[in-house]
A and B are shown apart, each in its own frame.
Chain A
Amino acid sequence: MEFENYLSFNKYPKILPKEVLIPSWLTELDRIDLRNSILCYGKGKSYGDVCLNEDGTLIDTSNLNHIIDFNNKTGIIKCESGITLKEILEFVVPKGWFLPVTPGTKFITLGGAVANDVHGKNHHSAGTFGSHITEIELLRSDKVTYKCTKDVHSELFAATIGGLGLTGFIKTVEFQLISIETPFMYVENIKFENLDAFFDLNEESEKLFPYTVSWVDCTTKGKKMGKGIYMRGRHATKSEVNKSFEMKDGALPFPIEASFINNLTVKAFNKLFYSKQFSKLSTQIVPFEPYFYPLDMIDGWEKAYGKNGFLQHQFVLPYDNCKKSLHQIFHEIVNSGMSSFLTVLKSFGEVDSPGMLSFPKKGITLAIDYRMEGEKTLKLLDKIDDIVAVNNGSLYPGKDARMSREHFHKFYPNFQEFLKYKDPNFSSSFYRRIK
């Protein structure tokens, strides 16, 4: 197989393009014939088929990784779309800046972050990545480059954020960074007994911490169904880390040494905020990387699922009726015995997503990996989708390989409006499946 490297992260479905173009420079794009059907491919860290284009053309953007402009006073940065979040972090963190929003891996491109309008542990406080974009330069098949902002070509801007790569070639992205005092995180890990306890803990934590996420157990039945570990955190301050700590270029203090951790401040903070009803596991100051990107440290973990690959399934349920429907879904999952080790539970907040097709909306979101066992797996997921649909929830296209056309249209009522801005020559296997 000639293009076997151009699959998605979970290696399912196994469909290949007819050709792959790898432009080395942004200036070469003018020479590329944007003929039907074409699609950009970032790092293929999507699960499913949003980044696949069976028998079509893929444009691999990985060489387009230059920084175009950076203002150290305002924290506004403009880059080519193929730059990875890893490269951006290496550059900005030593200067005291951080990504406004980051998904659970840093090996994705900026273009991919826009096209799936990615969310992170701080959704309840910061919204999606798209909320922090100030400008997108979009090349369309009419050979015109559109500079899109909230005010200029605003519809194209909104269609491109979360637009699943279907509105054209994102050439550059300008966005706002957030400032940090240290490259460390203050983190509290707390155990919760079951789903109901999660809701209580979450309500408290959302108010106190910009970053929250939980790992839940999807295998235990009964009273302890949905037990898990709640992780809440924020960027650590200088005084928490060490008075003598200085942000400086090129010299990140990794791996962190014990002397950096100032236990007194940690304890004081704890006394103030720790609620008695939950048993605390630990309070730590950790470097940002293991906190945000634990999976990036386990090279090739996804291969553990074997050659058939696996599926990830992520839905959101609005708060109304959410507890009940979550229970229902947990029953389905637990009884099927099919869920695997990676199960992430989190709440989405108020901040509206700027994209027409953005996935996040206020409520609770659950992301689960399932080994691909054919019909059995697909049936379970269809069942869950039905519950999600009845309760006005939605599913993440960036992590989908199988949702039905009917469900997609129910989940994304803006789709017809979106189609006005879709580029006629851009298409994907996902698009052809759900259109």
Chain B
Amino acid sequence: MIKNIYVFGATSKIAEETLKNYAKDNANFYLVGRDIHKLEIVRKDLLARGAGKAEVEACDALDWEKHSITINNADKTIGQLDLIYIAHGTLPENEGIRNNQMKVIEEFNINCTSVISLCTVASEYFESKGKGTIAVISSVAGERGRQSNFIYGSAKGGVSKYLEGLRNRLFEKGIKVITIKPGMVDTPMTKDFKKGLLFASPASVGKQIYKGINVGRDVLFVPGYWKLIMGIIKSIPESIFKKLKL
């Protein structure tokens, strides 16, 4: 039973929609993000929906030193953690930044390095407790590098690969590692996109993630049909793929 939850990127729409489901179960939350005012809105919403406790702390993903501090603070404030849920991310305009070295490094730091940093301290925490679940939002974009989105995609790909290994390593210690791979979701991140048929609502994605975490799935494509779509995309031989406009 997941009762005490630490969330990094708690103001993400997908994270919020996941947490609403846990609020119904009266879970306790430690909400971390970079904007304290937005966190406060999320906190009140979850409390109204049935959360036991909900506390907030401000931390930027690039504030490396603070990562472990927030996890320790969470443990002190809401009790031993059952779930560490990592949801933050940014979706850069690929063409606009691909030749901008500093921008590319920064995007990588937010979408990959900071996630791995948080997972490192999360593993350490759960190893010391002997149990727990780490759930991370990666993306279907990490399945294959495409010219339109390879900076974000490769950062997410790095996260997915890292989690694969971590899951393997922590398996015998009884710690679960869950890789969440959403397809396109209608959230502030995709605000400027034209919304086609493949867009899912954050509420349905959040619910599927909630269910997936609770049953302890290893890899979770949400919605599920993305597994098929990405399977096809991955099966295209590189010699052909490099010529495609994807």
Do these two chains interact? yes
A residues engaging B (CB < 8 A)? 5, 22, 24-27, 63, 66-70, 77, 91, 249-250
Q: Tell me which of A22, A69, A250 contacts B44 (CB under 8 A).
A: A69
Known: A25-B11, A67-B49, A249-B24; 6 extra A-B contacts, CB below 8 A, are A25-B38, A25-B41, A27-B37, A66-B41, A67-B44, A67-B45
* CB closest residue in chain A, given B46: A67
Known: A25-B41, A27-B38. Contact between A67 and B24, CB under 8 A?
A: no
B49: A residues at CB distance < 8 A: 67, 70, 91
- A-B contacts at CB below 8 angstroms, number: 38
B residues engaging A (CB < 8 A)? 11, 13, 24, 35, 37-38, 41-42, 44-45, 48-50, 188, 191, 195
B44 close to A68 (CB less than 8 A): yes
The interface centre, meaning the residue of A26, A27, A77, A250 with most chain B CB atoms within 10 A of its CB, is A27
Least CB distance from B232 to A in Å reads 28
With the chains together, A25 CA to B191 CA distance in Å?
Answer: 13
* CB closest residue in chain B, given A25: B38
With the chains together, A77 CA to B45 CA distance in Å?
Answer: 11
With the chains together, A250 CA to B191 CA distance in Å?
Answer: 30
Main secondary structure of the interface of B (DSSP, over half): helix
Q: Tell me which of B37, B42, B50, B188 contacts A66 (CB under 8 A).
A: B42
B188: A residues at CB distance < 8 A: 22, 24, 63
A70: B residues at CB distance < 8 A: 48-49
With the chains together, A250 CA to B210 CA distance in Å?
Answer: 13
A27 close to B41 (CB less than 8 A): yes
B50: A residues at CB distance < 8 A: 249
Known: A22-B191, A63-B188, A249-B24. Contact between A68 and B45, CB under 8 A?
A: yes
With the chains together, A66 CA to B44 CA distance in Å?
Answer: 8
6 cross-chain CB contacts under 8 A:
A25-B11, A25-B41, A27-B37, A63-B188, A67-B44, A68-B41
Least CB distance from A177 to B in Å reads 13
B191: A residues at CB distance < 8 A: 22, 24
With the chains together, A63 CA to B190 CA distance in Å?
Answer: 13
With the chains together, A22 CA to B48 CA distance in Å?
Answer: 25
* CB closest residue in chain A, given B38: A25
With the chains together, A70 CA to B13 CA distance in Å?
Answer: 21
Least CB distance from B20 to A in Å reads 9
B45: A residues at CB distance < 8 A: 66-68
B48 close to A69 (CB less than 8 A): yes
A67 close to B48 (CB less than 8 A): yes
A63: B residues at CB distance < 8 A: 13, 188
A66: B residues at CB distance < 8 A: 41-42, 44-45
Known: A22-B191, A27-B41. Contact between A250 and B48, CB under 8 A?
A: no
